[in-house]
Amino acid sequence: MRFYYLLKEKQLKNLVEKAEEMKESTPIALIKLLESKLDNVIWRLGYTDSKLHAKQLVSHGHFLVNGKRARTSFIFLEPGDIIEIRPQSKNKEPFKNLQKKLKIYTPPPWLKIDVNTLKGEFLRYPEPEELSLPFNVPLALQFYSK
């Protein structure tokens, strides 16, 4: 789970604690947190081919969240948040052929992207059955709730 979401041990432990305090069940709350993390959303929107590349582009300040420059991937989006490439970054190498790529890409149903303006929107949190995760969330929670 740590590697899938590019987290350090302490970060994941803190997120588990935060998920335990939320209203819904802990596994669902944790998935909502992890899936709303900025680098994960950028990857799922199709801006990049990997989460690691998304994380790097965020740390270099290439994205705006609701009009404000984001420099850390540890931002958790909420429904209605708008993600876009900074105007100064649109001509940089990672984004040159992005419109062409996005025309043939379909983002997950909880995200929306406007191919012409390259603006993405976080519509809602994903349902657990919409995700095919390569790990067992309850088992991971059992490990971290010691």
Q: What pLDDT digit, counting tens, does each position of 9-20 carry?
A: 999 989 988 988
**pTM attached to this predicted model:** 0.91
Location of structure tokens 């983002």? 107
Bridge partners for 117 per DSSP: none
Number of structural domains the chain divides into: 1
Specify the CATH number for the domain of residue 13: 3.10.290.10
DSSP string, 95-111: GTTHHHHHHT----TTE
Location of structure tokens 């209605």? 80
Domain that holds residue 23: 9-126+136-144
Confidence of residue 145 (pLDDT cuts 50, 70, 90): low
Residue 4 lies in a domain: no
Confidence of residue 133 (pLDDT cuts 50, 70, 90): confident
Residue 107: pLDDT over 90: yes
Mean pLDDT over each residue of the chain, to the nearest integer = 91
Q: What per-residue confidence (pLDDT) applies to 137?
A: 82
